[in-house]
Structure 1
Amino acid sequence: MTTVTPTGRGMARILTAATLIPLASMCPLLTDAQRDGRACPWCDVSVTAETGIDLGERTLHRAAAIIHPVACQSCTSREALDAYVTHHRTCVKGTAAGLGDT
């Protein structure tokens, strides 16, 4: 299993943010390499500790399994942006607090 260890200033926040990217709908379709962090869960390209971004350990309650996906940088960027845009559009808490679009 490949594990990416964050180094340098700000990397801990990147690791934390990456664990928030949703994967639930994809889990039944993931290969063993994707579940174990050897291939990107979106594009299936091989990843290493140097090229991948650790998406954090995830528990699949229905499958009674634990996975540890690692994604390529381009897919992580795309999926993080998509998750941010979706959250920004649908977050009731931010809108109620006056943090939404003006």
Structure 2
Amino acid sequence: MRVGLRSPVEIGHDGRVPEPPGVPTMKPIQFDRDETRAIVADIQDYFREELDQSIGAIPAEMLMQFFAEKMGGYFYNAGLHDAQALVRRKIDDVSDEIFGLEQPTGRR
């Protein structure tokens, strides 16, 4: 009996252990060039208006990437919960519509 030996774990190119096949994962949050510019401008405006500080475009973009990587999952999960609630309401609506299609029978 071998003690303490485990099967090798393959590490991805990003340094993370990949999820087993079939396990859904969140895609990395990526913004196109126009979205990035808009977000960077919003961050710069916030620093200027709320903190009375200036922040360059590169540090603002780095801050955006930090929040996307570290906190994006929280926003993603909130969006999933909202979507799940919407789907439940729609299923309830469809179920009600189907129930409304039932025809009276002699058994009722």
TM-score of the two chains, using structure 2 as the length reference: 0.30
Which structure has more relative contact order (CA 8 Å, sep 6+)? It is 1
By percentage of residues, which structure has more helix? 2
TM-score of the two chains, using structure 1 as the length reference: 0.32
By percentage of residues, which structure has more strand? 1
